[in-house]
Amino acid sequence: MGEQAADGSAVVVVGHSNTLLWGCVQAFADDGADVLAVVPDGGGLPAEAGAAREVVRADVADEAQLRAAAARLPAGWPPVRALVNCHSDVDTARIESASSAAWVRVLTGNLVGPLVSTLAFLPLLKQAGSAAVVHIGSIDGQLGNAAVPSYSVSKGGLIPLTHMMADEFAPYGIRVNCVARAALAGVPASLEAQLAAATPLRRVAEPAEVAAAVRFLASAEASYITGTVLPVDGGRTAITPGTRLPTGNAGSQRPSGP
């Protein structure tokens, strides 16, 4: 695909093929980085895939396949200075009705996937001398979402994983952070309206807005930030759910808490 980056850095983006993954690819490519995208087999690639220097197909939760993808980086590539884990597998079954197989699939895709992806590319990140890992989490992992229990649990597990990786990898000069995103543009219109009404900024996010936060955490500007979870949610987690006052009635109701 593209020529070698002028800034001498490479970025690996691993995960399920969706608008956020390709938004991250585009954001880093726009900064001049060589981007390797690792996505599952099956289905065509969007036009945004052209921003990647190379696209590799693999099971994004299989360590052996991801190590093989890492080995495909040729000697001519610059150092890998950032890894973005953009895994997203969703099941909408409630806890009582869900199958254990569905839970295993979602937990494997969203929690084990980022773990084995990081392990697969860790040797390359170490070689860079200064590098960053950014996991894509969700505010559902912070608060829980009754509509997607297994997804909420799997994304919630990224929080301590981020903390532990940040501590363990700090001696290698590797920072590890997590972006907890909210809903993105492209959800059904009825759901988007509902989510926008519950969001202080009154809209859902564009993929590029979340990708910008990912790019920041992976950059030298965030050189003293590690082990943190950054919500990119339009203010959704800044207020207690269910306590928003009707427009024009500010101060007319007592707060729900002490």
The string of pLDDT tens digits covering residues 78-132 is: 999 999 999 999 999 999 999 999 999 999 999 999 999 999 999 999 999 999 9
Decide if 195 is inside a domain.
yes
At 147, list the tokens. 């509509």
Decide if 150 is inside a domain.
yes
The pTM score is: 0.91
Rounded Cα distance, 226 and 240, in Å: 27
**In the predicted structure, residue 250 carries a pLDDT above the cut 50:** no
Q: What pLDDT score does 3 carry?
A: 38
Rounded Cα distance, 82 and 84, in Å: 7
Average pLDDT (221-230) is 98
Rounded Cα distance, 91 and 80, in Å: 33
Catalytic residue among 22, 121, 151, 169: 151
Rounded Cα distance, 225 and 247, in Å: 37
Question: Of 84, 211, 229, 213, which Cα lies nearest the Cα of 143?
Answer: 229
Decide if 3 is inside a domain.
no
Backbone φ and ψ for 199, nearest 5 degrees, come out as -110, 130
Decide if 22 is inside a domain.
yes
Decide if 214 is inside a domain.
yes
Rounded Cα distance, 175 and 214, in Å: 13
Domain extent at residue 189: 10-238
Rounded Cα distance, 23 and 228, in Å: 22
Task: Give how many domains the chain has, as a whole number.
Answer: 1
Decide if 163 is inside a domain.
yes
The predicted-structure confidence for 166-184, as pLDDT tens digits, reads as follows 999 999 999 999 999 999 9
Domain harbouring 191, CATH code: 3.40.50.720
Q: What pLDDT score does 249 carry?
A: 46
Decide if 257 is inside a domain.
no
For the question of residue 151 being annotated catalytic, the response is yes
Within 10 angstroms of residue 25's Cβ, the number of other Cβ atoms is 28
The predicted-structure confidence for 141-160, as pLDDT tens digits, reads as follows 999 999 999 999 999 999 99
